[in-house]
Amino acid sequence: MGEVKKIRTACRSCHGGCGVIAHVKNGKVIKVEGDSDSPISHGTLCSKGLAVTQMAYHPDRVTHPMKKVDGKWQRITWDEALDEIATRFQSVKDEYGAEHIVVGQGTGRDYESHLYRFANQLGTPNVLTAGHMCYVSRVASTLITVGSLPICDYRGEPKCIIMWGCNPQWTNPDEYKGGDFWTNYKKGSKLICIDPRKGFVAKKADLWLQLRPGTDAALAMGFLNVIIDEDLYDPEFVENYINGWDEFKERVKEFSLDRVEEITWVDKELIRKAARLYARTKPACIHWGVPTEQTNNCADCTRLITGLMAATGNLDAPGGNVLYVTPPTRTVSEFSRHKDLSREQLAKRLGGDQFKLGGRVALINPKKAWDSILTSQPYQLKAGLLCGTNPVITRANAKEAYAALSKLDFLVVMDFFLTPTAELADIFLPSGTWLEQDHVADNWKRHGFVVARQKCVEIGECWQDHKIFMELGKKMGQEWWPTVEDSLDYLLEPSGLTWDEFKTKGYLKGEMVYHKYKERGFSTPTGKVELYSTVLEKWGYDPLPKYTELPESPVSKPELLEKFPYILNAGLRTPTFFHSANRNQPWLREIRPDPIVEIHPDTAAKENIKEGDWVWIESPRGKIKEKAKFNKGIDPSVIVAEHGWWYPEMEAPGYGWDISNINILMDNSYETLDPAIGSTNLRNCLCNVSPV
């Protein structure tokens, strides 16, 4: 039957880091299973990870470089592909300047270190990511508030957990794996769930706060109002470690419980009860998700929730929200050579003068990129390189994204499959899946670990993303190492380990120290938790956080209610798909064959909709269709829809990108964005719903 070799590696089918044992026979991965020795996932593995072989060996997977000639794809060699890309990029750089090239990524496959090193040596400040409204926006907002990202210390066994807009057992987001939360819950932790939709977590919670979608910042103000009014805060921490407490208290007073109830639709006594439970139960942690970021209140909401952790003494305390100590490896920032960009080039970053917090974390807002291409303002992007991203499906105002990418003079896409975005490219480069790469994985996260992702197989001519950036960079005269493994040796140098030694060891863990602020303060200009932000004040923003009404809601746009009477809460997660990925994997598509929109039965009856019907969802920007599923656990005025849908089984070039793509309905106009980070309102708009 042939020998089966077992290789220990780490998943990246979603946010990554889960330990995996890959079973390899005759040069092919025949199955994967969870690694019980993983310090992160403890042997658990979700449906997306278990289905990786269907992705890696899918018959539609592109396993060789391709070039579009007269509108049709033709196979080419790696040398031909890289030579043409290097020539075209150098031509743009010589004629217009490096800033006229945009480098983009999606949620990422742990290639950030190599992508940014390539972009920085290229000389472009224009890196397009999902970070303006997903995770990096949270990092940026907490960097200026406490100096790092506070993470739930599940290893410290919190006695109370606030699950705020997150479903970790389906999404395993970033630093978190669903198993850690579930283990603590089963041990008896009190659970507060904040979610407009009654899902699995809400059904298990001691308290469920069903807020109006997008009003999280106002709800945080309500919590703080109770904690301050009833003296439930930690006086020693507040007195010694918070900057601007008195000014912050005055701002919180503006949001009485009556006002917060009116804004959020949550009963004020329930808010009071939840705030008391969180503040009085020690230790307690807050586990937040991206819905808190994907609004115009992104930075303020993040800072308010961080303020809750600080005021109650749960910041960097065992079982609270801690600032984990990273292992001794080189940071992504150091590896990426951010200092290579001159002040002159940094000043050319699109939107850098408008979204200053976004500039702090070296990214641009996609609206700025689309405007640059379509209007030439302030200058016109000429070429692009997109890695592991499908913005035609995953960015707000999808029709504008499609138009912009179609107009680029030259576009390169690195991916596994031809997607609606990849079909717009001039050259396609075949990326290796996580089964096909070596990397010091999770080196950008803040959970205290890095893990060894070991290459298990090679498939076709696919290269891991890191190698693609390195070899393209070499073609353009950049400084790189001979091999990917050499670059990993450099990443690991502070640990004293080589890549070969590290992959045998499996992982590194930073030695955790709690209450670090007692010795050295916080990494902010004042050395304190800046609830009054000196950084934002210097940049000309309001230094105190607040709640701003959503740009398109029953409150801000009552004139739209006659035609669009419902609130669309987009982005419903499933256990099968990772944003726009996995729609072509049989196991996962069998579980969820069609896009789902959840509707309250009373709303469905009013609109003459039967369960299972295809329904139109329409906003002021367009109309798409999804399949109706009834849910009594949402407000009758709210519609909850899935995102990320396209149809790989349909014909190229569109693959049905405009049939069920919820982002066609979402707005990205400047007045709707978070003023500091540029976050997009991906979760909220007004809509109507009707039978197809």
Q: Which residues of 527-565 are buried (b: 16+ CB within 10 A; e: fewer)?
A: ebbbbbbbbbeeeebebbbbbebbbbbbeebeebeeebb
Q: Is the peptide bond before 420 cis (omega within 30 degrees of 0)?
A: no
Beta bridge partners of 193: 163, 208
Half-sphere exposure of 682 (CA within 13 A, CB side): 30
pLDDT band at 107 (very low <50, low <70, confident <90, very high): confident
Q: What is the reported pLDDT for 2?
A: 72
Beta bridge partner(s), residue 157? none
**In the structure encoding, which two tokens stand for residue 230, read together?**
């009833």
pLDDT band at 1 (very low <50, low <70, confident <90, very high): low
In angstroms, the CA 474 to CA 481 distance is 9
State pLDDT tens for residues 150-203.
999 999 999 999 999 999 988 888 899 999 999 999 999 999 999 999 999 999
Q: Please tell me the chain's helix, strand, coil percentages from 3-state DSSP, rounded to the nearest 5.
A: 35, 20, 45
Closest CA to 29 of 432, 457, 438, 436: 457
**Could you tell me if 439 and 77 are in contact, meaning their C-beta atoms sit under 8 angstroms apart?**
no
Q: What's the pLDDT score for residue 86? A: 98
Q: For 590-608, how does the pLDDT look when each residue is reduced to its tens digit (9 = 90+)? A: 999 999 999 999 999 999 9
Question: What's the whole-number average pLDDT of the chain?
Answer: 96
Query: What is the per-residue pLDDT across 626-674, written as a single tens digit (0 to 9) for each?
Result: 999 999 999 999 999 999 999 999 999 999 999 999 999 999 999 999 9
Burial 459-470 (b: 16+ CB within 10 A, else e): beebbbbbbbbb
* pLDDT tens digits along 482-519: 999 999 999 999 999 999 999 999 999 999 999 999 99
Please tell me whether residue 111 adopts helix, strand or coil conformation. coil
3 state DSSP class of 420: coil
Beta partners for residue 288, in sequence order = 164
| Structure token digits, residue 84 | 């043409």
- 120-140 CB burial, b ≥16 within 10 A, e <16: bbbbbbbbbbbbbbbbbbbbb
- Can you list the domains of the chain with their CATH numbers? 66-136+330-442+449-509 (3.40.50.740), 144-325+516-539 (3.40.228.10), 558-691 (2.40.40.20)
pTM of this prediction exceeds 0.85: yes
Over residues 118-157, the pLDDT tens digits come to: 999 999 999 999 999 999 999 999 999 999 999 999 999 9
| Token duo for residue 688 | 């109507």
